[in-house]
Amino acid sequence: MSAFWSRFCQNRGAVIGLIILTIVIICAVAAPFLFPRSPWSMVQRPFLPPFEMDGLPLGTDALGRDVLSGLFHGARVSLLVGLVSTVVALAIGIPIGALAGYYGGMVDDALMRFTEFFQTIPSFALAIVLLAIFQPTLSYVILAIAIVSWPPVARLVRGEVLSLRNREFVEAATLSGQSNLRIILQQVLPNALPPIIVLASLMVATAILLESSLSFLGLGDPNVMSWGYMIGAARTVLRTAWWLSFIPGLAILLTVLSLNLIGEGLNDALNPRLRKRTS
């Protein structure tokens, strides 16, 4: 574990990413305590620019709502959507990939054609269609994002399992009478974990971007304050009050960047052999 940690810390970008993400998480956790009022409530006159009034350091938006409060509450939504939808996507993708890779043949063909069915449709378009069918509540947003983002997981897991399933230790487990399910869970998947972890960290970033894009288009949950919604609401006043789009945009940028940096650091730490020459 300490070796893992020291390898992770060798990547300076990853440490910076971790610091940024920690700050974002702290903001999300602290939001209801620092801003007990709803982020939707009007507190001052509209279009108050940043740094003009004490107590409202980032000013107000077109309807007089506190931008800073929206930013903090938006962090909650973004992180929640990113994490939960990634977990759901992994829960769909890992079993499908593992079964396809382990059993091969017909099972593989069937599951992979099914996966390709999802892969051939542009993921953003599919998410829009799904949300047009479902109710636009937070849980459906999460579900829609999960549904469009599991195919790469399935493909990755399948590839890993394919290369692992003919290893001698898997054959030894077969010979010692273990069931296929046990072999997949005990022998194969633990060894496929490092690339899955790396992919998952990047998927959280993609999910945050997807949620923001959906909210920007007005397809997000209308009852929760999210960064995408804030940008979407401010786009009509882009020329007169540019900061209203810029501030939440910066938040998205930093969060996604930090997750990508962490993903790269995890990759270095979990696959030390692949790294060697980059330094």
Partner 1 sequence: MSLLTIDNLSIALPKGADRDLAVKDVSFTLDRGEILCIVGESGSGKSMSANALMGLLPEGVTPSAGHIQFEGRDLLTLSDDEMMALRGKDISMIFQEPLSALNPLMRIGDQIAEVYEAHNLLTPSERRKRALELLHEVGLPDPETTIRAYPFQLSGGQRQRVVIAMALALEPKILIADEPTTALDVTTQAQILDLIEDLRRNHGMAVLFITHDFGVVADIADRVIVMQHGEVVETGDADTVLLNPTHPYTRALLDAIPRLTFRDSAEQAAQPILSVRDLNMTFTSRTGGFFKKQRVVKAVQNATFDLYQGETIGIVGESGSGKSTLGRCIVRLLNPQSGVVEINGQDISKIRGQELRHHRRRIQMIFQDPYSSLNPRSRIGTILTEGLIAYGTDKATARAKAAELLTLVGLDPSAMSRFPHEFSGGQRQRVGIARALALDPEVIIADEAVSALDVSIQAQVLDLLADLKTRLNLSMIFITHDLRVAAQVCDRIIVMQRGEMVEFGPSAQVLGKPQTAYTQSLLDAIPGKDHEAALAAQGAPA
186 contact partners, CB below 8 Å, separation of at least 6: 173, 178
Closer by beta carbon to partner 1, 8 or else 229: 8
State the amino acid at position 139 in one-letter form.
Answer: S
**d(C-alpha 204, C-alpha 164), whole Å:** 26
The residue written with tokens 């990853």 in the block is 14
Question: Which run of H or E residues covers position 43?
Answer: none
193 contact partners, CB below 8 Å, separation of at least 6: none
CA angle 78, 203, 163 (to 5 degrees): 160
Closer by beta carbon to partner 1, 8 or else 227: 8
Q: Is 198 in the site for partner 1 (CB under 8 A)?
A: no
Q: Is 10 in the site for partner 1 (CB under 8 A)?
A: no
- Of 205, 215, 216, nearest to 140 by C-alpha is 215
Whole-number minimum distance, CB 176 to partner 1, in Å? 3
Closer by beta carbon to partner 1, 9 or else 128: 9
Closer by beta carbon to partner 1, 176 or else 240: 176
Closer by beta carbon to partner 1, 91 or else 172: 172
Q: Is 190 in the site for partner 1 (CB under 8 A)?
A: yes
In this chain, which stretch among 139-147, 155-163, 183-191, 242-250 interacts with partner 1, using CB under 8 A? Answer: 183-191
Q: Is 186 in the site for partner 1 (CB under 8 A)?
A: yes
- Quick check: 4 and 266 in contact, CB under 8 A? no
Q: Is 191 in the site for partner 1 (CB under 8 A)?
A: yes
Q: Which of residues 163-182 bind partner 1 (CB under 8 A)?
A: 167-169, 171-179, 182
Q: Is 117 in the site for partner 1 (CB under 8 A)?
A: no
The residue written with tokens 């109710």 in the block is 135
Residues of the shown chain interacting with partner 1 in the complex, contacts defined by CB under 8 A? 167-169, 171-179, 182, 186-187, 190-191, 276-277
